[in-house]
Protein backbone atom coordinates (compact mmCIF):
# COMPACT_ATOMS: atom_id res chain seq x y z
CA UNK A 1 0.00 0.00 0.00
CA UNK A 2 1.12 3.52 -0.71
CA UNK A 3 1.97 5.67 2.28
CA UNK A 4 3.74 8.84 3.31
CA UNK A 5 5.38 9.44 6.67
CA UNK A 6 6.30 12.77 8.16
CA UNK A 7 7.98 11.57 11.33
CA UNK A 8 8.04 14.94 13.07
CA UNK A 9 4.80 16.46 14.22
CA UNK A 10 6.59 19.72 15.05
CA UNK A 11 9.89 21.27 14.05
CA UNK A 12 11.36 24.28 15.82
CA UNK A 13 14.21 26.28 14.37
CA UNK A 14 15.77 29.66 15.05
CA UNK A 15 15.49 32.34 12.40
CA UNK A 16 18.50 32.31 10.10
CA UNK A 17 19.29 28.66 10.77
CA UNK A 18 18.83 25.94 8.16
CA UNK A 19 15.63 23.94 8.37
CA UNK A 20 14.71 20.42 7.36
CA UNK A 21 11.25 18.89 7.29
CA UNK A 22 11.41 15.15 6.77
CA UNK A 23 9.32 12.95 4.49
CA UNK A 24 9.61 9.29 3.61
CA UNK A 25 7.34 7.35 1.33
CA UNK A 26 6.32 3.91 0.22
CA UNK A 27 4.96 3.46 -3.27
CA UNK A 28 5.14 0.91 -6.03
CA UNK A 29 7.47 1.99 -8.78
CA UNK A 30 8.82 5.48 -9.23
CA UNK A 31 6.99 8.25 -7.44
CA UNK A 32 5.77 11.73 -8.10
CA UNK A 33 6.57 13.71 -4.93
CA UNK A 34 5.17 17.00 -3.76
CA UNK A 35 5.49 19.53 -0.95
CA UNK A 36 2.74 21.94 0.02
CA UNK A 37 2.55 24.63 2.70
CA UNK A 38 -0.53 25.74 4.57
CA UNK A 39 -0.84 28.98 6.50
CA UNK A 40 -3.53 29.27 9.22
CA UNK A 41 -7.09 29.15 7.89
CA UNK A 42 -5.87 28.98 4.30
CA UNK A 43 -5.74 26.39 1.58
CA UNK A 44 -2.56 24.64 0.55
CA UNK A 45 0.07 26.31 -1.58
CA UNK A 46 2.22 24.29 -3.95
CA UNK A 47 5.93 24.54 -3.10
CA UNK A 48 7.72 22.08 -5.34
CA UNK A 49 7.59 18.68 -6.94
CA UNK A 50 9.83 15.90 -8.17
CA UNK A 51 8.79 14.21 -11.36
CA UNK A 52 12.01 13.20 -13.03
CA UNK A 53 15.52 14.46 -13.67
CA UNK A 54 17.76 16.16 -11.14
CA UNK A 55 17.23 14.78 -7.65
CA UNK A 56 17.54 18.24 -6.14
CA UNK A 57 14.41 20.24 -6.79
CA UNK A 58 14.13 23.95 -6.15
CA UNK A 59 10.80 25.54 -5.40
CA UNK A 60 9.05 28.63 -4.12
CA UNK A 61 10.26 30.89 -1.30
CA UNK A 62 13.78 29.48 -1.35
CA UNK A 63 12.76 25.94 -0.48
CA UNK A 64 14.33 22.87 -2.02
CA UNK A 65 13.96 19.14 -1.63
CA UNK A 66 16.12 16.18 -2.50
CA UNK A 67 14.75 12.96 -3.87
CA UNK A 68 16.68 10.02 -2.44
CA UNK A 69 15.53 6.81 -4.05
CA UNK A 70 17.59 4.45 -1.90
CA UNK A 71 16.25 5.97 1.30
CA UNK A 72 12.78 6.61 -0.19
CA UNK A 73 12.93 10.13 1.17
CA UNK A 74 12.06 13.61 -0.05
CA UNK A 75 13.12 15.97 2.73
CA UNK A 76 12.28 19.65 2.44
CA UNK A 77 15.07 22.10 3.18
CA UNK A 78 15.85 25.77 3.33
CA UNK A 79 19.31 27.22 4.04
CA UNK A 80 18.09 30.10 6.19
CA UNK A 81 14.69 30.05 7.89
CA UNK A 82 12.42 33.07 8.19
CA UNK A 83 9.78 33.69 10.82
CA UNK A 84 7.29 33.92 7.96
CA UNK A 85 8.08 30.29 7.07
CA UNK A 86 6.15 29.21 10.17
CA UNK A 87 3.30 27.10 8.83
CA UNK A 88 2.06 23.56 8.32
CA UNK A 89 3.93 21.55 5.69
CA UNK A 90 2.55 18.55 3.85
CA UNK A 91 4.36 15.95 1.80
CA UNK A 92 2.40 13.97 -0.80
CA UNK A 93 3.14 11.13 -3.20
CA UNK A 94 1.56 9.49 -6.18
CA UNK A 95 2.68 6.40 -8.04
CA UNK A 96 3.99 7.22 -11.49
CA UNK A 97 1.99 4.53 -13.23
CA UNK A 98 -1.16 5.06 -11.26
CA UNK A 99 -3.45 4.80 -14.24
CA UNK A 100 -6.90 5.82 -13.16
CA UNK A 101 -5.86 5.91 -9.52
CA UNK A 102 -4.16 9.27 -9.54
CA UNK A 103 -5.00 10.32 -6.02
CA UNK A 104 -2.33 11.92 -3.93
CA UNK A 105 -1.39 10.16 -0.71
CA UNK A 106 -0.75 12.69 2.04
CA UNK A 107 1.47 12.82 5.06
CA UNK A 108 -0.03 14.02 8.33
CA UNK A 109 1.77 17.32 8.17
CA UNK A 110 4.61 18.91 10.10
CA UNK A 111 4.15 22.15 11.94
CA UNK A 112 7.19 24.39 11.50
CA UNK A 113 7.85 27.12 14.02
CA UNK A 114 10.63 29.58 13.28
CA UNK A 115 11.60 31.55 16.35
CA UNK A 116 12.94 35.11 16.10
CA UNK B 1 0.52 29.58 -11.55
CA UNK B 2 -2.91 28.04 -11.57
CA UNK B 3 -5.46 29.85 -9.42
CA UNK B 4 -8.36 28.16 -7.69
CA UNK B 5 -11.03 30.13 -5.86
CA UNK B 6 -13.64 29.04 -3.36
CA UNK B 7 -16.81 30.72 -2.22
CA UNK B 8 -17.81 31.37 0.45
CA UNK B 9 -14.72 31.53 2.60
CA UNK B 10 -16.77 31.18 5.74
CA UNK B 11 -20.35 30.11 6.39
CA UNK B 12 -22.42 29.61 9.49
CA UNK B 13 -25.71 27.77 9.20
CA UNK B 14 -28.36 26.18 11.35
CA UNK B 15 -28.60 22.45 11.78
CA UNK B 16 -30.78 20.87 9.12
CA UNK B 17 -30.09 23.40 6.40
CA UNK B 18 -28.05 22.85 3.25
CA UNK B 19 -24.93 24.72 2.26
CA UNK B 20 -23.36 25.00 -1.18
CA UNK B 21 -19.66 25.65 -1.68
CA UNK B 22 -18.30 26.68 -5.06
CA UNK B 23 -14.87 25.89 -6.44
CA UNK B 24 -13.63 27.61 -9.58
CA UNK B 25 -10.49 27.30 -11.64
CA UNK B 26 -9.84 30.89 -12.69
CA UNK B 27 -7.17 30.66 -15.36
CA UNK B 28 -7.37 27.09 -16.59
CA UNK B 29 -9.83 24.36 -17.33
CA UNK B 30 -10.04 21.47 -14.94
CA UNK B 31 -11.57 18.19 -15.95
CA UNK B 32 -10.86 16.84 -12.50
CA UNK B 33 -11.35 18.53 -9.16
CA UNK B 34 -10.99 17.16 -5.67
CA UNK B 35 -12.84 17.91 -2.46
CA UNK B 36 -11.07 17.55 0.86
CA UNK B 37 -12.06 17.92 4.45
CA UNK B 38 -9.58 18.99 7.08
CA UNK B 39 -9.95 18.81 10.84
CA UNK B 40 -7.93 21.15 13.10
CA UNK B 41 -4.22 20.51 12.81
CA UNK B 42 -4.90 17.34 10.91
CA UNK B 43 -4.10 16.09 7.50
CA UNK B 44 -6.36 16.27 4.54
CA UNK B 45 -9.09 13.72 4.02
CA UNK B 46 -10.08 13.24 0.42
CA UNK B 47 -13.85 13.14 0.20
CA UNK B 48 -14.42 12.75 -3.52
CA UNK B 49 -13.03 13.25 -6.98
CA UNK B 50 -15.15 15.39 -9.21
CA UNK B 51 -15.10 14.75 -12.94
CA UNK B 52 -16.59 17.21 -15.40
CA UNK B 53 -19.70 15.84 -17.04
CA UNK B 54 -19.89 12.66 -14.99
CA UNK B 55 -20.67 11.47 -11.51
CA UNK B 56 -18.22 12.11 -8.73
CA UNK B 57 -16.22 9.28 -7.24
CA UNK B 58 -16.60 9.19 -3.48
CA UNK B 59 -14.10 7.81 -1.00
CA UNK B 60 -15.06 5.01 1.28
CA UNK B 61 -17.14 6.19 4.20
CA UNK B 62 -18.25 9.45 2.56
CA UNK B 63 -22.01 9.68 2.15
CA UNK B 64 -22.72 10.69 -1.42
CA UNK B 65 -26.30 11.66 -0.61
CA UNK B 66 -25.11 14.00 2.08
CA UNK B 67 -22.23 15.56 0.22
CA UNK B 68 -23.55 16.29 -3.25
CA UNK B 69 -20.97 17.15 -5.86
CA UNK B 70 -21.66 18.68 -9.23
CA UNK B 71 -19.02 19.42 -11.83
CA UNK B 72 -21.09 20.96 -14.58
CA UNK B 73 -18.37 22.86 -16.39
CA UNK B 74 -14.62 22.80 -16.86
CA UNK B 75 -14.18 25.65 -14.41
CA UNK B 76 -16.76 25.01 -11.71
CA UNK B 77 -17.42 22.27 -9.19
CA UNK B 78 -19.82 22.58 -6.28
CA UNK B 79 -20.12 20.73 -3.00
CA UNK B 80 -23.49 20.83 -1.26
CA UNK B 81 -23.67 19.69 2.34
CA UNK B 82 -27.26 18.61 2.77
CA UNK B 83 -29.11 18.62 6.08
CA UNK B 84 -26.01 19.83 7.84
CA UNK B 85 -25.31 18.81 11.41
CA UNK B 86 -22.78 20.15 13.90
CA UNK B 87 -20.46 17.22 13.20
CA UNK B 88 -20.20 18.47 9.59
CA UNK B 89 -18.46 21.58 10.87
CA UNK B 90 -15.04 21.58 9.29
CA UNK B 91 -12.67 23.21 6.83
CA UNK B 92 -13.47 22.15 3.28
CA UNK B 93 -10.85 22.61 0.57
CA UNK B 94 -11.15 22.04 -3.14
CA UNK B 95 -8.35 21.32 -5.54
CA UNK B 96 -7.95 21.20 -9.30
CA UNK B 97 -5.31 19.33 -11.20
CA UNK B 98 -3.16 20.81 -13.93
CA UNK B 99 -1.00 18.15 -15.57
CA UNK B 100 0.63 16.38 -12.61
CA UNK B 101 0.11 19.08 -9.99
CA UNK B 102 -2.86 19.87 -7.78
CA UNK B 103 -3.63 23.46 -6.93
CA UNK B 104 -5.82 24.32 -3.99
CA UNK B 105 -8.51 26.81 -3.21
CA UNK B 106 -8.32 28.93 -0.05
CA UNK B 107 -10.83 26.76 1.79
CA UNK B 108 -14.28 27.22 3.30
CA UNK B 109 -14.87 27.19 7.04
CA UNK B 110 -18.28 25.66 7.73
CA UNK B 111 -19.83 26.02 11.16
CA UNK B 112 -23.13 24.29 11.81
CA UNK B 113 -24.98 25.51 14.89
Using only C-alpha atoms, chain B has a radius of gyration, in whole angstroms, of: 13
SS (HEC) of chain A: CCEEECCCCEEEEECCCCEEECCEEECCCCEEEEEEEECCCCCEEEEEEECCCCCEEECHHHCEEEEECCCCEEEEEECCCCHHHCEEEEEEEEECCCCCCCCCEECCCEEEEEEC
Q: What is the pLDDT of residue B31?
A: 85
Reply yes or no on whether the pLDDT at A109 is more than 90: yes
Q: Do A43 and B6 lie within an 8 Å CB cutoff?
A: yes
Tell me whether residues B100 and A51 touch, CB distance under 8 A: yes
Distance of residue B81 Cα from the nearest chain A Cα, in angstroms: 19
B84-102: per-residue pLDDT in tens? 999 999 999 999 988 889 9
Q: Across the interface, which of A44, A51, A102 has its CB nearest the CB of B104?
A: A44
- Inter-chain CB pairs, A–B, below 8 Å: 48
Compare CB distances from A46 to B42, B101, B109 and report the shortest one's residue.
Answer: B101
pLDDT: is B97 or A86 the higher one? A86
Q: What is the DSSP string of B8-66?
A: -SEEEE-TT--EEEEEEESSS--SEEEEEEE-TT--EEEEEEEETTSPPEEPTT--TTT
With CA atoms as reference, the chain B residue closest to A31 would be B100
For residues A71-97, average pLDDT: 94
Rounded mean pLDDT, A59-72:
95
Element of type H or E holding B98? strand B90-98
What distance in Å separates residue A42's CA from the closest CA in chain B?
A: 5
Residue of B nearest to A95 (CA): B100
Amino acid sequence: AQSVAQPEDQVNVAEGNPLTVKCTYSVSGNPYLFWYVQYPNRGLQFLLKYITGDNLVKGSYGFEAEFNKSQTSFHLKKPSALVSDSALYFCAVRARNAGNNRKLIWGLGTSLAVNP
Amino acid sequence: GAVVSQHPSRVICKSGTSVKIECRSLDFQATTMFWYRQFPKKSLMLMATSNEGSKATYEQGVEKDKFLINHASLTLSTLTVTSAHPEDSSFYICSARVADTQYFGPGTRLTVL
